[in-house]
Amino acid sequence: MRRADGSYRWTAVKGIPLLGLDGSVREWVGANRDIHDSVTQQEGLLQRLDSERRQSALLAKVASAARTLHTALSSEDIADALSQEVRAILGAAEVDVALDGDTGDASAAAPGAAPGASLALPLLDRKGRRIGHIRVAGKAGGFDEQDEAILAQLAALAATGFANARLYRSLREQDRRKDEFLAMLSHELRNPLAPIAAAAEVLRIAADPGRVRVASEVIARQVRHMTSLVNDLLDVSRVTRGLIKLDKTLVGIGTVVASAVEQSRPLVEARGHALTLEMAPDLGAARVHGDATRLVQVIANLLGNAAKYTPDGGRIALGAARDGMRVRLCVEDNGIGIDGGLLPQVFDLFTQAERTPDRSQGGLGIGLALVRTMVALHGGEVEAHSDGPGKGCRFTVWLPLA
């Protein structure tokens, strides 16, 4: 009913007719009751119930989307699932999901861009770093705050899924490398056993002093080789368990370089390589605060790698120079080089199996991993560079000067 002030209010009207002698309605008797407040309260309750039902349905869809996103094991599957779930829940005609970088990650997009406003959010990892983005567009009537909240929740779920997928991929790669390493290790440890066994048999039956001497040299050489392998295994065990300890003192750069060259020279000369050394004149008194034995191991490993992966008669250069408050040590060769796809992993454990599948170069493929660890423990950096297969390599180490 309309009130005198022009407002309308709900009213309950009840009445009964009073009849005359002839049976016609003579008048009505009844009452009007203002029920506006109770009606509006009931309408509000119904609206809230309807809103809660819609919200519950949305939460159920988000929960279902979470299960879908968490069961996918590849970045490509997660991107596709996220795109489908966002279209289904938000009603967007266009969804674009993309990850930053080109390391095997996937992107997904719904075809056919639609007009209208768009909504975009970054995909963030657990540390808050951006790893990609999601953009939606083409919803009839546009997007509201609830859409943005749902998209943010789905983006967070997907970001966790992407991180888990990368971790899963990394674990599978590590398992593969470990399997190859074990096969490699068996090969490397078995190789010296045959000559040792043959030499031992010669010692058992030979009376000629010359044959005894040759057999003894074979045993000694193969034992040194096996000892080197075992020492490498012990080093990698300490690295993986974080047990590497340094005996730091003030160490001269010249002394480290000279010792490393002396250690590497037999292998370099055996392969017929030309090794050149270039020390900057101002490094004569330069020193670093570090473990001399481990620093020599770093340079010797790099020189040994250069010697092994350079065809006979190659060129190897070792240079040392100041670089601000650091010393730069560079080992460069004209050897077999490194494929661009392998370059980012050369310092990972067991990568060598991929680099030389025929095992012609020997070794366990853990030298560069030890180099990276030792350099990091000295507060330095190491970098690998190659223009590709057949174009040689350059390894650069930076160490802070004392």
Alpha helices in 145-192 (DSSP H): 145-190
SS3 345: helix
Q: DSSP letters along 263-322, please?
A: HHHHHHHHTT-EEEEEE-GGGTT-EEEE-HHHHHHHHHHHHHHHHHTS-TT-EEEEEEEE
- pLDDT tens for the chain, 402 residues: list them: 898 999 999 999 999 999 999 999 999 999 989 999 888 888 888 778 777 776 676 667 777 777 777 777 788 888 888 888 888 888 888 888 888 864 444 445 444 434 448 888 888 888 888 888 899 998 888 888 888 888 888 888 888 888 888 888 888 877 777 776 666 666 667 777 778 888 788 777 777 788 888 888 888 877 877 777 777 777 777 766 777 788 899 999 999 999 999 989 988 999 999 999 999 988 878 899 999 999 998 999 999 989 989 999 999 999 999 998 999 999 999 999 988 878 888 887 666 534 443 344 445 567 788 888 889 999 999 999 999 899 999 999 999 998
Structure pTM? 0.52
Of 204, 198, 239, nearest in space to 222 by CA: 198
Q: Output the furthest CA–CA distance in the chain (Å, rounded).
A: 155
- C-alpha–C-alpha distance, residues 332 and 274, integer Å: 12
